[in-house]
Chain A
Amino acid sequence: MLKESLVSEFQKIVGKENVLTTPEALKAYSYDGTTSWIHEPDCVVFPKTTQEISEIMKIANAEKIPVTPRGGGTNVSGGSVPWLGGVVLCTTKMNTILKIDKENLTATVEPGVVLQDLTLKLAKEGLFFPPDPQSFLGATLGGIIAENAGGPACVKYGVTKQYILGLEVVFPDGRIANFGGRTLKNVVGYDLLHIFVSSEGTLGVITKAELKLNPIPPAKKTIMAVYAEIAMAGESVFRVLENGVIPGKIELLDNWVINRIEEMMPMGLPKDADAVLLFECDGIPEAVEKETEKIVEITKKYGATDVRVAKDVDEANKYWMARKAGFAAVFGKAPTVMAEDVTVPRGKIPEFIKRCRDLSKKYDVEMCILGHAGDGNLHPAILSDIKNKDLYERALKAMDGIIEGAVEFGGVLSGEHGIGLEKQKFFRRTMDPVAVDLMMKIKALLDPNNIMNPGKIWD
Chain B
Amino acid sequence: MKDLKELKKIEKFADQCMKCGFCSFFCPVYQEEKVETAVARGKNYLIKLALKGEQEFTEEMADIIGKCLLCKRCAANCPSKTQIDRVVVGARAQMVKDKGLGFIKDFAFRKVMSNRKAFGRYVKLAKAFQWMLPKTEGNIRHLPDFLKALGQGRHIPNLAKTFLRDMVKPVYKPVNGEKPKMRVGFFMGCATDFVYPELGLKLIDFLTKRGIEVVVPESQNCCGAAIYFSGDFETGRMLAEENIKAFEGVDYVVTACGTCSSTLKDYQKYLPDNEDQQKRYEAFEKKIKDSTEFVIDVMKIPPEDFKLRKEFEGKTATWHDPCHLIRYQNIKEQPRAILKALKGLKYVEMPNADMCCGMGGSFSVYHYDLTKKIADKKMDGIKATGADIVVTACPGCMINLIDNALRNKMTQKVYHFLELVE
Contacts and interface: CB of A to CB of B under 8 A. Distances in A.
Interface stretch (A166-174, A287-295, A324-332, A398-406): A324-332
A341 to B, nearest CB: 15
B64 interface: yes
Interface residues of A, number: 37
Nearest to A20: B35
A72 interface: yes
A116 B26 CA distance: 11
Nearest to B58: A24
Interface in B21-47: 21-26, 34-37, 42, 45-46
Nearest to B77: A137
Nearest to B22: A137
B18 A331 contact: yes
A327 B79 contact: yes
B95 to A, nearest CB: 13
A92 B38 CA distance: 13
Contacts of B22: 74, 135, 137-138
B81 A33 contact: no
B370 to A, nearest CB: 13
B60 interface: yes
B411 interface: no
B278 interface: no
B162 interface: no
Interface string B37-77: 10000100110010000010010110010000000000001
Given A29-B36, A93-B34, A35 B45 contact: no
Given A95-B34, A264-B81, A24 B60 contact: yes
Contacts of A22: 60
Contacts of B330: none
A27 B55 contact: yes
B80 A328 contact: yes
Contacts of A95: 34
B21 A325 contact: no
A411 interface: no
Majority secondary structure, A binding face? loop
Contacts of A35: 18-19
B20 interface: yes
A33 B55 CA distance: 21
Contact of A332 (B42, B45, B55, B80): B80
A11 B77 CA distance: 36
Interface string A113-151: 010100000000000000000010111000000000000
A46 interface: yes
A73 B37 contact: no
B21 A33 contact: yes
Q: Which residue, of A20, A32, A331, has the highest number of chain B Cβ atoms within 10 A?
A: A331
Contacts of A83: none
A331 B22 CA distance: 14
Contacts of B35: 20, 25, 28, 44, 46, 90, 92
Contacts of B152: none
A35 B77 CA distance: 21
Contacts of B18: 33, 35, 328, 331-332, 337
A135 B36 contact: no
Nearest to B63: A24
Contacts of A328: 18, 20, 79-81
B21 A27 contact: no
Interface in A44-71: 44, 46
Given A137-B24, A138-B24, A28 B19 contact: no
A324 B35 CA distance: 25
A28 B18 CA distance: 14
B24 A72 contact: yes
A352 interface: no
A27 B46 contact: yes
Interface in A67-86: 72-74
A396 B236 CA distance: 49
Contacts of B55: 24, 27
Interface string B75-96: 0010111000000000000000
B16 interface: yes
A33 B23 CA distance: 12
A189 B38 CA distance: 45
Contacts of B36: 25, 28-29, 73
Contacts of A157: none
A28 B21 contact: no
Interface string A217-261: 000000000000000000000000000000000000000000000
Interface in B172-207: none
Nearest to B16: A332
A72 B81 contact: no
A337 B81 CA distance: 17
A395 to B, nearest CB: 17
B283 to A, nearest CB: 28
A31 interface: yes
A337 B18 CA distance: 10
A293 B59 CA distance: 63
B80 A114 contact: no
A90 B39 CA distance: 15
A138 B20 contact: yes
B411 to A, nearest CB: 26
Contacts of A34: 19
A41 B184 CA distance: 58
Nearest to B36: A28
Nearest to A265: B81
A315 B14 CA distance: 32
A92 B34 contact: yes
A275 to B, nearest CB: 21
Contacts of A331: 18, 20, 80
A72 B20 CA distance: 10
Contacts of A44: 35
Contacts of B26: 137
A306 to B, nearest CB: 27
A135 B79 contact: no
Most chain A CB within a 10 A radius of its CB, from B36, B37, B77: B36
A248 B58 CA distance: 50
Contacts of B64: 24
Nearest to A93: B34
A90 B42 CA distance: 15
4 nearest A-B residue pairs (beta carbon): A328-B79, A138-B21, A137-B25, A28-B36
Given A28-B46, A33-B21, A337-B18, 9 more contacts: A23-B60, A28-B42, A33-B18, A90-B35, A114-B24, A137-B24, A264-B81, A332-B18, A332-B81
16 contacts: A24-B46, A24-B60, A25-B35, A27-B45, A28-B45, A31-B19, A33-B19, A34-B19, A90-B35, A112-B34, A114-B24, A114-B25, A135-B20, A138-B24, A328-B79, A332-B16
